[in-house]
Amino acid sequence: MIEPLLGKLNKLETSLMLPLSNIVILPEVALPITLTDSYSIGVVEAALLSNHKQLVVATTKPEFQREFDQDKHIEIESLDDIYSVAALATVESFLRLPSGVAECVFRGLKRVKIVNLQVFDHICEVKFNRLSELSEQENSAKIKTLIKIVKSHWQEIAELNCNTFEQILVAITECNKPSKLAYQTAILVINDIEVLQNLLEEESLEQLLKIALEYLSKEVEIQRLRSKIIAEIKKEINQGQAKLSESDLLDKIESEWSLDDVENDDIEDLKIRIKKANLPSAIYKQAQREVARLKRLGNNLAEADVIRTYLDWILEIPWNKTVEINLELDDAKVVLDAEHHGLTKVKDRIIEYLATFKLKQAIQSKEKQSSQISVGTVLCFVGPPGVGKTSMGISIAHALNRPFERVSLGGLRDEAELRGHRRTYVGAMPGRIVQALHRCGVKNPVIMLDELDKIGMDSHRGDPASVLLEILDPQQNNCFRDLYLDCDFDLSQVFFIATANNLSEVPAPLLDRLEIIEIPGYSESEKLAIAQKHLLPRQIEKAGLPNQALHLSFQTINLIIENYTREAGVRQLEQQ
């Protein structure tokens, strides 16, 4: 099958290559993949730094995979270890989890023929030619007929499953490109890696559609049989039970077929986790509905993986978990003084703010209200770079005994980055706020919204500033709705701190929700004290030297300040 390809090659290109086992990336298809080894993650991170965020994704041959299963230290050495026909793919999303693994979504772009492979320290680089597009001119009448049959089969599968496949059906029916329709169908119904690789290498559009249709027809037969069994069992049990839910029917089918397999164990584990998670009632009901959907889907792997990922997020988000807050003003003053030199007015204003918050909580305790009081107005530190806005936020978190998380808003143009993506999108994830709460593990952390003045707006992607209004407004943020979670989350206990360099760039409606604290900069005497007390010890520690290994006189530090740094903050001073 490879020989006819050689006459259809284009110019030679170079790219990093990501080898995968038991996975085939097809053109025009998005596929979520979990990467576990550091070298594969490094390749994807390197691709993300390139202009096009693209790389070649190739599938390893079974012979190499068998050797690798026996010895995890062997590496790919030549083209004999991989299939030479691969896919040029773009990295649509990348998330590195605290456990060390990375969740990625790749979208296939073009078929390519790898002609050369070089390996440098576990990293593969390939030279390749792009293969030409499959021709839609060959026997167009037969191709149109095949397309109609494929779409009608999907319509039947959706009807047999009570529209469980509705999202897939919409994508299939709206697809007008024959090759894309065939590849999308294949990735959903074919599990055999060699068959998928043959499809990738296939040069005939008609043959491509026929193979996809063959496996889709088998799936239709399975769904027809499933529907027939459900109807028969309903008929048999109808005399004893007036109503029978579909989940009960599936339980009876499993007892008939003895299908107590690993998938059922996974569902039982999910049910146990949900019961132990102490979820709010609305979230608990939502999780139960998703588990019921997961059970109905059976072997529909693509849809089931989406639901499992959603349930993992639901169960790991801190809906009710909080950390005990330290509101002793003397302790806060000690922490601020220890970690920041000067800025007396700024520190006094922060202490006043914390005192107000403490008073609110005391009033609430006196009135015996059970829920925790909201933080209220949001602090906003304004000043030039390097004056300590971020470090001041970290100090506040230390003083309050709360976890700290920073969310960068610089260059943000898509409101879905804050509000999350709907689950109908491939690779959908919660917004940055929910992700920050997930990393903190509690619902009352200190979250810093950095570079508030640098958010943008795209007419096609919504207005992030309007989402920030909902997040920061104390009257609204107790029921913030993330589109991915599709349920409300209480942000009222989060201590938000914003930073900005230029107030004139901050949208006016946002300014109404902010308590502005200006940090103008440091005098030369303050810079000298900061250098001696904080910067020099930090640099000595970074260099791995003993504490007394280096000493700089006041005159030397003054010389650096006067002649080599021209800034309001101390960032350049630390570099010097």
- Cα 87 to Cα 188: distance, rounded to the nearest angstrom: 18
| Identity of residue 451 | E
Q: In what order do the strands lie in the sheet with 404-408?
A: 404-408, 446-450, 495-500, 378-382, 514-518
C-beta separation of 82 from 56 below 8 A: no
3-state SS assignment for residue 9: strand
Return the pLDDT at 7: 42
For 3-131, the fitting CATH number among 3.30.470.10, 2.40.37.10, 2.30.130.40, 3.60.21.10 is: 2.30.130.40
Residues 153-181 have a mean pLDDT of: 77
Q: How far is CA 229 from CA 33, 209, 225, 252, 446, in A?
A: 34, 30, 6, 10, 55
Q: Residue 518: what pLDDT?
A: 85
Once rounded to an integer, what is the mean pLDDT over residues 132-149? 79
Residues 413 and 461 sit within 8 Å (Cβ to Cβ): yes
User: Per-residue confidence at 525, pLDDT binned at 50, 70, 90?
Assistant: low
- pTM for the structure as a whole: 0.51
Model confidence at 11: pLDDT above 80: no
Classified as helix, coil or strand, 551 is coil
Which residues lie closer than 8 Å to 119 by C-beta, 6 or more apart?
Answer: 75, 76, 77, 125
Q: What is the 3-state secondary structure (H, E, C) of 428-471?
A: CCCCHHHHHHHHHCCCCCEEEEECHHHCCCECCCECHHHHHHHH
Domain borders along the chain are: 3-131, 140-234, 260-299, 329-518, 524-575
Q: Which CATH architecture has domain 140-234?
A: Up-down Bundle (1.20)
* Of 104-113, 246-255, 273-282, 336-345, minimum mean pLDDT range: 246-255
Confidence (pLDDT) at 274: 86
Mean pLDDT of the chain: 79
In this structure, of 144-148, 328-332, 468-472, the range with the lowest mean pLDDT score is: 328-332
pLDDT of residue 113: 93
Q: Which of 136-145, 284-293, 406-415, 464-473 has the lowest mean pLDDT?
A: 136-145
Q: Which amino acid is at 156?
A: E
* Mean pLDDT confidence for 551-566: 62
pLDDT the model gives residue 535? 63
pLDDT above 90 covers a percentage of the chain that reads 6
pLDDT at 252: 55
pLDDT for residue 88 is more than 90: yes
One of 1.10.8.60, 3.30.990.10, 3.40.50.150, 3.40.50.11900 is the CATH number of 524-575, namely 1.10.8.60
Q: Is the pLDDT of residue 547 over 50?
A: yes
CA–chain centroid gap for 403, Å, is 21
Residue 516: CB partners within 8 Å, gap ≥ 6?
380, 382, 503
CATH code for the structural domain at 329-518: 3.40.50.300
Segment 269-297 mean pLDDT: 84
Topology agreement, domain 329-518 and domain 524-575: no
